[in-house]
Amino acid sequence: MNRALTITALAAVSAAFLTVSCKSPQAQNDAADAAAGSTAPVKVFKVTRQRIAEKVFATGTIEAGQKITITPDVGGKIAAIHVREGEAVRKGQVLAELDTQATRLQLKQAEAGYLVAEAALKDAMKNKERMERLKDEKAVSDQQFEQVQLAAEAAAAQFAQAQAALNLARHALDVSIMKAPFGGVIASRNAEVGDVINPMMGGYAAAGGGGGVLTLVDFSRVKITVEVSQDEVMRLRRGQKALVRVPSFPGRDFPAVVSVVNLAANPMTKKFGVEVVTDNPDRDLRPGTFGEVVFEVAMHEQAVVVPQNAILDNSYVFLAREGKAVKTAVTLGLQNRVWVEIVEGVSDGDVVVVEGNYGLEDGMPIDITGEVTL
């Protein structure tokens, strides 16, 4: 009985083996693929021609286009501060004043001295004219004429000295009244009424306040200084267009222009400073915040481009053809964060695998689950 069961089992195994071995190689491969489930799900991108720009990105701090510390040219006690922090001011507006009592007295003294010197000069000039007539008539000696002439010259010098003293006193009074040299916003108040300001000591107040009396900024136009590498700075020039982006305005680009390209590198970072400026009429860009600068250094119109994630090892892509992944070598051109230009290997209208391409093999069956559009 056991022997009969054994013979029957062997016969069944032999029949199964013969059935499998009689199948064609293609049928065996198809069966193996089906059993293994090797069809790879992918997403694709249909290649189109479009503009591509190669860009350089750098980050810097936004600064006001104009910034000044309001400090008088003369020392003295602060008598009044007429503005507050954050207040907008116009050009020529009075911002602060020093105590001018002593200055006004000095001005009166200088005015009186000027009048005295002016009268003395007039008198000396009349004497000189009279002596010139007498000299012509041989009524005075040369020595007498020279004395009158020297007196006139001395009176002229004293008048010039009095005039300079008057101008100095007027200047001292004028600069004691601090005015805005341009329209802007008061960024900080560095001193208080009663503090003594001394411009010869860096503008610091006696009470230990910050430099000067006030800090005035105008950020209707701002600038950003960034650092770039040696290779990048060679592709930038003054007057070149750029873009500024800030986190507080996602998706918005502020047009800018390169204003400065440094020719010497920073000895610490070995990078080159580049400054860009941009108009900021609505004051959306705030000084002291970070901004990203985008320089467009190269551009091609109507280029064959694919997304960055389609490129593998910087040398090949997978094309989707007849349900299979076809490994294709490519030559790359311009690149940016999103796109890569394909110079050779891919044509307009080709379908490129952009998701699920890692781990693919040439000729592997694929299942397109979606099309990516950027």
pLDDT one-digit tens code per residue, 83-131:
999 999 999 999 999 998 888 999 999 999 999 999 999 988 988 888 8
Taking residues 230-247, what's their average pLDDT?
Answer: 94
- 3-state secondary structure at position 259: strand
What ranges in the chain are assigned the alpha helix state H? 2-21, 25-36, 101-136, 142-176, 230-233
Higher pLDDT, 116 or 208: 116
Q: Are 209 and 71 in contact (CB under 8 A)?
A: no
**Strand ranges across the sheet with 177-179:** 177-179, 94-98, 76-81, 196-198, 204-205
| Widest CA span in the chain | 176
In whole angstroms, what is the distance from residue 357 CA to residue 316 CA? 11
Average of pLDDT values for 42-68? 93
The CA distance from 251 to 365, in Å, is: 39
Q: Answer whether residue 313 shows pLDDT above 90.
A: yes
Environment class of 328 (CB within 10 Å of its CB; exposed 0-12, middle 13-18, buried 19+) = middle
Cα-based distances in Å from 224 to 215, 227, 247: 19, 10, 15
> Is residue 17 over pLDDT 50?
no
Is domain 56-65+217-299 given the CATH code 2.40.30.170 in the classification? yes
Taking the domain 37-53+300-371, which CATH number applies? 2.40.420.20
Same fold, 37-53+300-371 and 72-212: no
Task: Round to whole Å and give the CA distance between 300 and 153.
Answer: 78
Q: What is the pLDDT of residue 198?
A: 81
For residue 205, pLDDT over 80 is answered with no
Domain extent listing, the chain = 37-53+300-371, 56-65+217-299, 72-212
Q: What is the pTM of this model?
A: 0.64
Interatomic CA distance for residues 338 and 285, integer angstroms: 26
> Per-residue pLDDT averaged across 319-331, rounded?
95
Does the domain formed by 72-212 have CATH 3.40.50.11260? no
3-state secondary structure of 1: coil
Q: In whole angstroms, what is the distance from residue 5 CA to residue 233 CA?
A: 87
- Average pLDDT score, the chain: 86
The tens digit of pLDDT for each residue in 147-162 reads 888 988 999 999 999 9
Q: Are 187 and 66 in contact (CB under 8 A)?
A: no
pLDDT at 16: 38
